[in-house]
């Protein structure tokens, strides 16, 4: 059984199948294009390229990247007000699978692991459930791309310096260009999907050599309604941060995502999201991997993960 707030768990899934059930989780999709090989030649330097053009060029590469996804097996540690949860994920040709292997950094019990395996087995054996999962993932990807495409028009940008890429942000050794952004008053959101961008300001990091967004850090400086305020609103002060990096196999993937939002949904239901999720241990898997093969891989990884966690706990206790 999954501990903590299960509804919150369902609302914040990772790229490329990130669930956008609310506008609060919508903003986290801003840079969640799928992992992929690098595209294109190095970008011009800031002296030769206006910031808006750099962002537009980078976004074009992010959108193109989404059409050339690379599948991974990876680990996630997600912390909320209810504690932490560690999962192992695998991306298959059919859908993404995730299995909880630890709660609050303690290995899941045999009963909890059996519940996880049973849940995944039901997904594999139920065509209707699998179809709904695939449909939701497709919609999520489409929403993500709409947000990404909106960035160059939704914001005004200015250069604010550089910093070095690291193992968690950008590519090691690259210079990352730091840009401040604020809403473009001339931007008219085509739908409520993009409406959240009108109240956001913050900072963008771009790896110009790879044409990739390394990090976006945004804060709502005002309350933002969505769906003409009928669907709800996000409160002033809401914050999100998403970062990407070049991972072990040379592709790019999301390495951290922070969400902190409050608001209302349908004018009645309170929205309160506060999560900090770190992604690591990326290993490329075959593009042809089926969902059944993915489950088999998760089960083998679960055994290794539990043993590694036990060894870690025993070492800490001896100290």
Cβ–Cβ < 8 Å for 121, 134: no
Domain ranges of the chain: 6-318
CA dihedral 126, 128, 133, 134 (to 10 degrees): 110
**Tens of pLDDT, residues 132-181:** 988 888 888 888 888 889 999 999 999 999 999 999 999 999 999 999 99
Query: Shortest CA distance to 88 belongs to which of 234, 244, 297?
Result: 297
If one counts every other C-beta atom within 10 angstroms of the C-beta of residue 78, the result is: 21
User: Cα separation of 271 and 151, whole Å?
Assistant: 25
Q: What is the pLDDT of residues 206-249, one digit of tens each?
A: 999 999 999 999 999 999 887 655 578 899 999 999 999 999 88
The per-residue pLDDT for range 86-102, each reduced to its tens digit, is 999 999 998 999 999 99
Q: 308 near 285, Cβ under 8 Å? A: no
CB atoms near residue 179 (< 10 Å):
23
pLDDT level of residue 39 (50, 70, 90 thresholds): very low
**Burial label, 55 (beta-carbon count in 10 A; 0-12, 13-18, 19+):** buried
pLDDT at 304 over 90: no
Cα separation, 200 vs 214, in Å, equals: 18
- pLDDT for the residue 45: 55
Rounded distance, CA 226 to CA 193, Å? 8
What are the structure tokens assigned to 1, written together?
């059984």
Q: What are residue 102's DSSP bridge partners?
A: 86, 107
Place of tokens 């909320």: 80
């Amino acid at each position: 059984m999954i501990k903590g707030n299960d509804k919150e768990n369902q609302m914040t899934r990772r790229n490329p199948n990130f669930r956008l059930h609310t506008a609060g989780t919508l903003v986290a999709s801003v840079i969640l294009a799928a992992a992929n090989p690098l595209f294109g030649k190095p970008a011009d330097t800031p002296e030769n390229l206006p910031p808006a053009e750099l962002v537009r060029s980078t976004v074009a590469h992010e959108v193109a990247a989404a059409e050339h996804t690379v599948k991974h097996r990876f680990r996630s540690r997600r912390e909320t007000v209810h504690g932490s949860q560690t999962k192992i994920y695998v991306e298959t040709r059919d859908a993404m699978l995730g299995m909880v292997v630890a709660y609050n950094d303690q290995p899941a019990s045999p009963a909890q692991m059996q519940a996880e395996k049973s849940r995944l087995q039901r997904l594999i054996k139920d065509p209707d459930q699998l179809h709904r999962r695939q449909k939701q993932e497709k919609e999520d990807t489409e929403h993500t791309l709409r947000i990404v495409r909106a960035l160059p028009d939704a914001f005004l940008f200015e250069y604010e310096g550089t910093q070095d890429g690291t193992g968690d942000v950008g590519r090691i050794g690259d210079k990352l260009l730091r840009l401040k952004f604020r809403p473009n008053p001339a931007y008219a959101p085509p739908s409520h999907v993009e409406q959240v961008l009108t109240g956001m300001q913050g900072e963008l990091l771009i790896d110009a050599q790879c044409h990739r967004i390394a990090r976006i850090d945004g804060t709502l400086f005002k309350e933002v309604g969505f769906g003409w305020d009928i669907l709800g609103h996000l409160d002033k002060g809401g914050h999100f941060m998403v970062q990407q990096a070049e991972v072990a196999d040379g592709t790019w993937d999301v390495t951290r995502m922070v969400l902190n939002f409050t608001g209302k949904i349908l004018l009645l239901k309170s929205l309160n999201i506060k999560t900090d999720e770190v992604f690591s241990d990326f290993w490329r898997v075959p593009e042809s991997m089926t969902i059944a093969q993915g489950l088999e891989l998760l089960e083998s990884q679960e055994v290794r993960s539990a043993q590694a966690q036990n060894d870690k706990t025993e070492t800490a206790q001896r100290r």
